[in-house]
């Protein structure tokens, strides 16, 4: 995915509705995984312990969607216009997520981790978060690259991927992309082997792991589109959603690094190719459209509440039955909140910025 349903806004092109739906399933998996990180710090004991692989699926889908949306358009555009389009699409939620993260930090009823930070330090952390500048200084938050909104780390790498696409990758042939994909795959396997998994990229210590994960998956997505690897099928939404979810729920084992490598190297590209080749209609089509629309808002707004849940969990010791209800209801409320943010803030802001941009262009 792009973290964004770019294809949906290109009205003259085919809509990959099923891919939008899979994007939403992956975003929900991330939310549940983040809940369970607090409950089961040892993710090998976590029933959705591979939920973090959703990021690799996002990045593969992003490569496919960006190539689909811009391979023919970008050579006729100014790079400046491409970057403005991407900023209008991505950055409002970066800012919204930063604001929510700051509010949660200051108003958390179960903890006050804002203590110990001067006003200047908090201002710097907040500014870095809004400008997508990695600043892993919050020790109590595991030295996240973006302490106020941890999921922004993958958006940072998506920004890097977009820059590389505009300046370099758009010019490269399929053969050259294959040449680049091979060392990217080797690097991915090495990271998985040396770390034991592909969880890294979100903190200062594993910063470069994020770059490796982005490099392979984004290139794979580009190649799927440029090579025409769209597999026509009649599987539909439910079977493909189950296939994708299986990657997140698979159990841990002694050779986990091999399994994760294969999932990212082969399985996710295969699902993208299947998703692009399967059509939807009726209720499932509408469901997929909805899931696609709320996927990015959900991904970028849920973590403020996750921090508050974590502090509630560690200070109140809820029962397993209570936790089941909290996660189920909390996830539903987060989806609803993401929809509200999209409807009331993000979409109006993007429409306003797009309109102002068009008005400015008309003046010249």
- Give CA–CA dist 354/145, Å, rounded: 30
Q: Residue 68 is encoded by which pair of tokens?
A: 């689909």
Instruction: Determine the pLDDT at residue 140.
Output: 87
Instruction: Determine the pLDDT at residue 19.
Output: 97
Note whether 111 and 315 are within 8 A (CB). Answer: yes
Is 68's pLDDT higher than 60?
A: yes
Instruction: Determine the pLDDT at residue 2.
Output: 47
Note whether 62 and 5 are within 8 A (CB). Answer: no
- Give CA–CA dist 174/197, Å, rounded: 29
Q: What would the pLDDT profile of 121-180 be if each residue is shown by its tens digit?
A: 999 999 999 999 999 999 989 999 999 999 999 999 999 999 999 999 999 999 999 999
Phi, psi of 203 (to 5 degrees): -125, 175
Confidence of residue 360 (pLDDT cuts 50, 70, 90): confident
Residue 173 falls in which region: left (phi positive, over 0), alpha (psi -120 to 50) or beta: beta
Instruction: Determine the pLDDT at residue 116.
Output: 81
- Give CA–CA dist 272/221, Å, rounded: 8
Confidence of residue 302 (pLDDT cuts 50, 70, 90): very high
Q: What would the pLDDT profile of 5-60 be if each residue is shown by its tens digit?
A: 443 334 446 789 999 999 999 999 999 999 999 999 999 999 999 999 999 999 99
Q: Which of 40-54, 105-119, 317-331 has the lowest mean pLDDT?
A: 105-119
Provide the sign of the torsion angle of the four alpha carbons 130, 136, 142, 144, taken in this order: positive
Confidence of residue 216 (pLDDT cuts 50, 70, 90): very high
Is 335's pLDDT higher than 90?
A: yes
What percent of the chain is predicted at pLDDT more than 90? 90
Is 317's pLDDT higher than 50?
A: yes
Q: What would the pLDDT profile of 179-189 be if each residue is shown by its tens digit?
A: 999 999 999 99
Q: At what angle do helices 207-226 and 268-276 cross, to 10 degrees?
A: 40
């Amino acid at each position: 995915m792009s973290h964004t349903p770019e294809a949906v806004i290109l009205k003259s092109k085919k809509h990959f509705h099923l891919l939008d739906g899979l994007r939403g399933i992956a975003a929900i998996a991330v939310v549940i995984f983040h809940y369970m990180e607090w409950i089961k710090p040892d993710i090998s004991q976590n029933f959705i312990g591979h939920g973090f692989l959703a990021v690799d699926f996002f990045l593969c889908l992003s490569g496919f969607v960006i190539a689909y949306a811009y391979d023919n358009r970008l050579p006729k555009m100014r790079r400046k216009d491409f970057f403005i389009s991407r900023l209008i699409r991505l950055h409002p939620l970066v800012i919204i997520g930063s604001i929510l993260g700051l509010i949660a930090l200051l108003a958390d009823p179960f903890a006050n981790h804002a203590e110990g930070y001067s006003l200047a330090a908090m201002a710097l952390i907040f500014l870095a978060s809004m400008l997508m500048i990695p600043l892993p200084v919050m020790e109590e938050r595991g030295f996240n690259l973006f302490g106020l909104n941890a999921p922004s780390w993958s958006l940072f790498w998506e920004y890097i991927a977009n820059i590389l696409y505009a300046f370099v990758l758009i010019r490269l042939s399929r053969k050259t992309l294959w040449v680049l994909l091979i060392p990217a795959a080797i690097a991915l396997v090495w990271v998985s082997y040396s770390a034991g998994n592909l969880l890294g990229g979100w903190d200062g210590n594993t910063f470069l792991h994020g770059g490796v994960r982005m490099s392979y998956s984004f290139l794979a997505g580009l190649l799927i589109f440029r090579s025409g690897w769209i597999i026509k099928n009649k599987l539909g939404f439910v079977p493909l959603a189950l296939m994708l979810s299986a990657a997140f729920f698979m159990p841990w084992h002694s050779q986990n690094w091999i399994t994760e490598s294969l999932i990212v190297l082969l399985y996710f590209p295969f699902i993208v190719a299947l998703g692009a080749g399967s059509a939807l209609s009726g209720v499932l089509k509408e469901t997929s459209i909805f899931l696609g629309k709320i996927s990015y808002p959900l991904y970028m707004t849920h973590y403020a509440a996750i921090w508050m849940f974590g502090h509630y969990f560690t200070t109140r010791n809820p029962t397993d039955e209570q936790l089941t209800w909290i996660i189920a209801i909390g996830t539903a409320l987060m989806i609803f909140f993401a929809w509200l943010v999209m409807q009331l803030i993000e979409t109006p802001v993007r429409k306003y910025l797009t309109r102002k941009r068009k008005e400015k262009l008309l003046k010249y």
